[in-house]
Structures are given as structure tokens and as C-alpha cells.
Structure 1
């Protein structure tokens, strides 16, 4: 038996550190996933998840989240939910429902309210500054309102050989009201099977959805690929298909672990980072690069780590 946990982006580090303590002490994989993601959702300087997440084009924060139990294959998900803290916890609760396990908008909010989840205005003053500055940029420079966006995704394996995964995001900045990406969609943004492994994705949801990439990675692991082989094969196959048929591909990044605690990560974009901790590897953040349809990653330097947080916590002013 072994334990492992992996997450997308440097922003997952503190949550994974806390979740790893649970796993070491025989906590279950589902609680580890929820713990890690909640810490990202609660940190106001991460502008792509939870409190402090950037709004849609109408200035509203719409949140998406999903949870999957790898033992039972049960899923729970919410889409476009507003004014509720910790959507990952709502999604985890929904995964225990036999029916109506994926709720969106007002229906998700009614469910959250009836089940005692905390209401909270998720739009921060800092996010409002980002929003107003982007409005000005798009008006003055005729720029597209959309910018890259980062979903937090976590996959976990516990000492009882059970696996779980989850995702949480505020979605594409300046998106249309009601827009959903891959994050709450089973098979696209997430998938886990305790008998094989699990994967989660981040990047441009509109393109990730075209490949059902998380399921594809788990399928490849089930056929004997290592996590790294499965991640690279899935990412670059989808990337190359999109480039061939549509002349371009959005950012596609994934992380995965198998049921032995081995991990992999892949991306078609420079600068993707991820965090992993296992029974054999202490908490480590990696930064990725791409060469010849392969993903290369190196341990993040102290300078890189410092710059990451400085950039996200730097003071903002209206332009």
C-alpha cells in the first residue's frame, strides 16, 4: 500500500501539503482532495478559483466544481453556481446522491442552501479591479476579453488503495454568463478509477472537451501505459488533431497518478506547473516545458517560487 497526491499549478502546494498529512495518517482520498481544493478556493489571491476568482462579462463570479469517487465511480458536480463558498464541498456532497448529481445555476444554489452550505459574496475588490481594467483594455485596444485560465485539479490515492479526484474553477475570465468548460464534466476535466488511476485537466476548456482527455489518460494507464506515457500521448494526440483540423490548439495540461502512486504530467504550453507528494517523494513543485511532443519538468527553483507569489499578491491599481 502507498499514498500519493498530485495537483495542477503551484497554487495547489499548501493544500497538498495539508492533504498529505491526512494521507500519512490513514485519512481517505476523498477528504484529501476536498481539503486541498478548499485551501485554494479560500485564498483570495488566486484569481481563477473560488473566492477572488475573476468574473464573467457581467461582473458575476460563477463557479464550477466536480468530485469523483474512484471506488464507486460516483460523481458530483456544480456549474455556474454563485455566492456559495467552497463549491468542491457541494460537489462532494452531490456525489453521494443517486440521482441529480450534477446541478447548475439556480438549482445548484437551491441544493447548497437546503444542505446548509455557507453563502458568501465571492467577488473581491481585487477581482473588481482586474475586471474594470480588462473592460478598459478591450475597449481601448480592441483586445479579446478572454485570457488563459487555471483550474485547480487534484488526484489522490490513500493507504486503503482508494482514489478520488476533484476540480474547482471560476472559469474563463470575462466568459458569457452560463458558460461551462471542461472542469465539471466527467471524462473531460476529471476521471478516476481506483483499479487503474486518475487524471485531471486544466487549460482552455473548449478544446479540452474535444478529447475527453482525463478519461483517455485513465484508459491508456489501464492498457499498460505509465502515467507519464499516458499523459503525453493523450495531450499531444489531441493537440495535433486540433492543429491539423482547426489550425490551432488552446492550452491543454494534465496531471495523473496510477493506483501504485506513480505520477505523470503533460502540457502543450510553456510554464505549466504542478505539485506532487507521495510516500517516496516529499512535497515538490515542478515547472514544465515542451520538446518534440514530450513534456519535460524540473523542480521549481526558490526564485521561481518567490516570483510566483509576488506576481499574484502584487498591489493592483485601476488603469
Structure 2
């Protein structure tokens, strides 16, 4: 087994180039651009993602390849602590990544879960789809598969993420022998982070000029999760789903809610039944609210005390998004420009906070 590359080594041009080179493994040959109108949608942390994916689609790239290249920007960004390099670790301080892909023209998909030391899990998931007759590889098996195909091992835990994890570990209990520094002496990255603790992911769905679809979801999962925990992101039908004749959908937020409701599949089936993308996404939100019966996951009015956001593009290029709580946005590129647009919401935060 290769030794993971440390943070300083990662900064060298050689290692960065090696990581980038693996993104092309399994990519399809480019083809002539069609006459259809392309659309790319992503979660709000994906403005660069949709721009990159659209650039590639407009020169003939496969929609899944374009989406994978787009999310790779976020996977490699140490400042996005919800995905890839710099992602938040599990409770033992180890970064574990999940990702899944689906490809419309071949009606196929692949995924990896609890993958350590590999910066671009979405690209590995594409190879699972193409080079095996499996849909999902996990843990040590997924790592060995990535190594076999030339993906370099990288220490994914950045200094900032390590400091945040250590503070969380030191403040779990006031009954043990750990002595965290006082709040005014905390590192600024720690002070900032604990105002925004939660979940994080990026989803991207792409429609090319031939009317073909591809989608990807990639994440480091729930912050400080139990080692081996897997959310919805690498589960086909939950964290993402597509049908090349209908549309594509994916999500970010509380993965367990999507796992219990197969939310992305529900959205695509709602599109098949004639619903508009936004309405289909809102219906998935209503389903989560109806089935969220655990009092620990409810506010004082019985509503979910967590959030989930859905992103959807239909075969004809119409798109929409929705979340449980207001304030969510999605990144969109329609061939003209990349921009953020508001998502619909089931509940209004202002009413909740009043």
C-alpha cells in the first residue's frame, strides 16, 4: 500500500498534477456538439462547478464527465470543509469520503463509501461503474480499487480541519481530563466553524446538447460521524438519481432522511408523472416531513429540526430546487451564465424564529 502524501507534499505541482490526471480515467471521447440547450445545476457551493461543467459540455464532453470535472474543483478545495480535501473528519479524526455517479445514456451508476486518502472519490465511482459489475465499493476495498487504477493517496485532513476536530474532541465532556483553551484563545478557524457546524455535500446534474444526462454527488459526510457511517450521497435513489428519458435529481443535507425516503428517486418519478422540477422537489420535502416522527428530530411544532435541499433538472431543460427550510439557493448555468437562484421551501425560517 502506498503511504498517504502529507499536506506539504500535496502542494507540489507534481502531486497536484497526479491527482488531476486521474480525473480523466474512464472519461468518454468527446463528440460533436448537438443542437439542444444544455443546463447544469448544483448545490450552492457549486458556482465554479456549473461553470466548469458547462465549458466542457460546450466542447462536446459527456455530461457525467463534465459533472465530475466540475465537482472536482470543490473536492480539491481545502476551504470547503464539506467535501474532499479539507473535509471534516469522523470522530476519530479520519476523513472518510462518499460519492456516487449516474450516467443517463448507459442507465448505469457507481459509488464508493467510507473511502480514505483519495481526493477525488467521484472519479473513482465512475470507474466502479465502468470497470466492475458492482454499484458500490466501500472502505478498504474501495481504497484498494482506487490504488489499482492509479489514484494517489493523500492526507485529506488539513491543519484547519484538524484544529476544529481537536476542539470538538476536547469539549465533548467537562468530566474528563482534557483541557481546551479558553474561547478567546481559540484559533480563528475554530471560532468561525462552530457557528456553522452541520453537514455538507455537493451535487451536480448536467444536461448536454444531445439531451443526455449525468449526475454526481460527493461529500465528506456528517461532521464527526461514527467511523463507517454512510449517508445518502453514495446511495443510488437517495442522494441522486436519474432517468435519461425523464430527468435528474440530487440532494444535500441530512442523509438519513433521504435514505429513509429514497428522495431522489421519488423526484424523478414525480417528473415522470408530469410534475414540474420545483414541485417534484417540494413533494420530496413533504414526504420527509410526513415521515419524520422521531421527537429528537422535531422542533416544538413537530417540524423537522434539520434541513435537506433538492436540485433537479428535467429532460427538457427546466430546472428547480426546494428545501425544508427557506434560505437555500442552487447554482445554475443555462449556457449563458453561472448564477445562484433561490430554492422553494416548505417552511419559512422567519416564522420559526419569531
State TM-score, norm by structure 2. 0.77
Counterpart of 1:265?
Answer: 321
Query: Once the 2 structures are TM-superposed, how far is the Cα of residue 180 of structure 1 from its aligned partner?
Result: 0.2
Question: Any runs of at least 4 consecutive aligned residues in structure 1 with deviations exceeding 4 A, and if so which?
Answer: 243-247
Deviation at 1:25, TM superposition (A): 2.3
Q: Distance in 2 between matches of 1:199 and 1:237?
A: 16
> Residue 276 of structure 1 corresponds to which residue in structure 2?
332
2:120 matched to which residue of 1?
Answer: 86
Q: Is 1:219 paired with 2:269?
A: yes
What are structure 2's unaligned runs of at least 5 residues?
1-35, 177-193, 299-303, 349-354
Aligned to 2:144: 110
Tell me what 2:180 maps to: none
Tell me the distance in 2 between the aligned counterparts of 1:183 and 1:153.
Answer: 9
Q: Where does residue 40 of structure 2 map in the other structure?
A: 5
Aligned twin of 2:222: 172
Q: Does the CA-based 8 Å contact 1:148-1:204 persist in structure 2?
A: no
Q: How far 1:140 moved relative to its partner?
A: 4.3
Hey, what does 1:316 align to over in structure 2?
Answer: none
1:315 alignment partner in structure 2: none
Q: Tell me the alpha carbon deviations over residues 224-271 of structure 1, each in whole angstroms, 9 at most, x when there is no partner.
A: 111111111111222233158886233211000001111010001233
**Who is 1:300 aligned against?**
none
Instruction: Decide whether the 8 Å contact of 1:147 with 1:172 is kept in 2.
Output: no
Residues 156, 163 of structure 1: 8 Å contact kept = yes
1:65 aligns with 2:115: no
Aligned to 1:256: 312
Q: Taking structure 1 as reference, are residues 287 and 126 closer, same or farther at Cα in structure 2, changes over 3 Å only?
A: farther
Residue 198 (structure 1) aligned with residue 253 (structure 2):
no
Shift of 1:194: 1.1
Partner residue, 2:206:
156
1:18 corresponds in structure 2 to 52
Q: Secondary structure at the match of 2:127?
A: helix
Equivalent residue runs for 1:47-62 within 5 Å: 47-62=81-96
1:174-232 CA-to-partner distances (Å, cap 9, x unmatched) read 10010000000000000011100000011111112111000000000011111111111
> Does the aligned pair in 2 maintain the 1:273–1:286 contact within 8 Å?
yes
- 2:283 corresponds in structure 1 to 233
Contact 1:77 1:184 in 2 (8 A): yes
Contact preservation (8 Å) 2:40, 2:205: yes
What's 2:341 paired with?
A: 286
Rate the CA distance shift 1:70–1:246 in 2: closer, same or farther, 3 A: farther
Question: Is the Cα contact below 8 Å between 2:323 and 2:346 reproduced in 1?
Answer: no
**Is structure 2 residue 259 aligned with structure 1 residue 209?**
yes
Q: CA RMSD in A?
A: 2.3
1:29 matched to 2:63? The reply is yes
Trace 1:289-300 onto structure 2 (pairs within 5 A): 290=345
CA contact (8 A) 2:201 2:218 kept: yes
Q: 2: CA distance between counterparts of 1:130 and 1:26?
A: 42
Give the C-alpha shift of residue 284 in structure 1: 0.9
SS in 2 for 1:131: helix
1:310 aligned residue: none
CA distance in 1, matches of 2:288, 2:175: 32
Unaligned ranges ≥5, structure 1: 294-319
TM-score, normalising length from structure 1? 0.85
SS in 1 for 2:233: coil
For residue 173 of structure 2, give the secondary structure of its aligned residue in structure 1: helix
SS in 1 for 2:261: coil
Q: Alpha-carbon deviation of 1:278?
A: 1.1
Bigger mean CA offset, 245-254 vs 71-80 = 245-254
CA gap of 1:134–1:278, structure 2 versus 1, over 3 A, is same
